[in-house]
Amino acid sequence: MKLNIAVLSGDGIGPEVTNEAIKVLKAIAVEFDHTFLFNHAKVGATAIDHFNNPLPDDTLELCKKSDAILFGAIGHPKYDNDPSAKVRPEQGLLKLRKSLGLYANIRPVKAYDSLLDKSPLKQENIKDTDISIYRELTGGIYFGEKKISDDGNTASDLCEYSKHEIERIAHLAFKSAQTRKNKVTLVDKANVLESSRLWRKVVTDVAKKYVDVELDFLFVDNAAMQLILNPRQFDVILTENMFGDIISDEASIIGGSIGLLASASVGDKHAMFEPIHGSYPQATNKGIANPIASILSAAMLLDHFELFDEADLIRAAVERSLKLEITTPDLNTTYDNITTSKVGDFIEDYISNPKDTNLNFSNIHLGQSTII
């Protein structure tokens, strides 16, 4: 298969982790005889620095004509700490999601057996957790009308949803549940918010088309608690934009590091793949950023094009790296010399030599492998 992939690696650790994902995709292309072409463009703080625009027109054009987008991370403290900043890196990402119609953000959360002890949560509570969060991504309070009074003392953000916006992501969530454990949990605040009551009504109607899928409802405050108390109860979580943003960061605790969580943002025409973590500016260029979220996002890209064997091979390589503790310091208490690019090298090596892995890998901790 030939794919044109736009690479928007962005700010902070974005470029480092995205490089590892590209390395892995190139190894897949060789092994499976695909052609993946990568075209880079700027987004976020780096685009503001160069063009005074967090999403330059050329970047958006490249995304529109590409088959898929690989996204790194955006954000820089010089904008975070300045509430009066008129342009912000995040505007680039939000505009990209909106302009490309990427309305469904899919965030898988998994408790890897080899990492159970890395989570601050009790192992017996999180073991076997496997959740897929469907977060609505182009509506709600993120995109509603924003107001600030003339005197600057009162501000508001409107949370608005239409039936159509709810239906289209609900269908995706139910379809996904049919391939998993046949359960959708709608997370909302229907005891308080009118928009949440619309979500309940619309999702209940959509559910009638999926009789094999069980639908239940949880208020977001309770869901936040249930997620860490008993995460195994969840299969697919369906929720609006801001609740999804918050609970997906919370859910990352189950996996042991936010550096593991990948995501796919899909619409009817375009698809973008990005780690859920931010730009982690303090770690930039130190070689300590975990590339696995980005690498697993590349696996989701391959899934999107139904290259399932290729995606599974990446996931197998990742699981092996976690098992052998070929991981960055966020997950590694044993070895202190495993850098971002060493993790990528290991996964690339696994893909290129799946047969020969054990021999090679046993030397890795000793620094005797060729890839170290």
Active site residues: 142, 189, 221, 245, 249
**CA atoms 93, 265, 109, 112: torsion sign:** negative
Residue closest to 180 by CA, chosen among 130, 227, 135: 130
Of 48-56, 95-103, 238-246, 313-321, the window that binds Mg ion (rule: CB under 5 A) is 238-246
Which positions ≥6 away from 211 have C-beta within 8 Å?
none
Residue 118 DSSP class: G
Phi-psi region of 49 (alpha: psi -120 to 50; beta: other; left: phi over 0): alpha
Which positions ≥6 away from 110 have C-beta within 8 Å?
129, 130, 131, 255
Of 86-94, 114-122, 177-185, 250-258, the window that binds ligand IPM (rule: CB under 6 A) is 86-94
Site string for ligand IPM, 267-296 (x = CB under 6 A): ---------x--------------------
Residue with tokens 């995706």: 172
Residue 325 binds ligand IPM, judged by CB under 6 A: no
Q: Where are the alpha helices (DSSP H) in 44-162?
A: 45-51, 57-65, 77-80, 89-99, 123-126
Task: State which residue, 283 or 307, has the beta carbon closest to ligand IPM.
Answer: 283
Which residue in 235, 245, 274, 348 binds Mg ion (CB under 5 A)?
Answer: 245
Site string for ligand IPM, 49-78 (x = CB under 6 A): --------------------------x---
Residue 93 binds ligand IPM, judged by CB under 6 A: yes
Q: Name the token pair of 235.
A: 């299969």
Residue 240 binds ligand IPM, judged by CB under 6 A: no
Which residue in 80, 90, 319, 330 binds ligand IPM (CB under 6 A)?
Answer: 90
Strand partners, 215: 184
193 binds, among ligand IPM, Mg ion, none (CB under 5 to 8 A by kind): none
Of 202-210, 239-247, 302-310, 333-341, the window that binds Mg ion (rule: CB under 5 A) is 239-247
Distance of alpha carbon 275 from the chain centroid? 4
256 binds, among ligand IPM, Mg ion, none (CB under 5 to 8 A by kind): none
Task: Note the residues at the interface with ligand IPM (CB under 6 A).
Answer: 75, 90, 93-94, 245, 276
Give the footprint of Mg ion on this chain (CB under 5 A).
Answer: 245
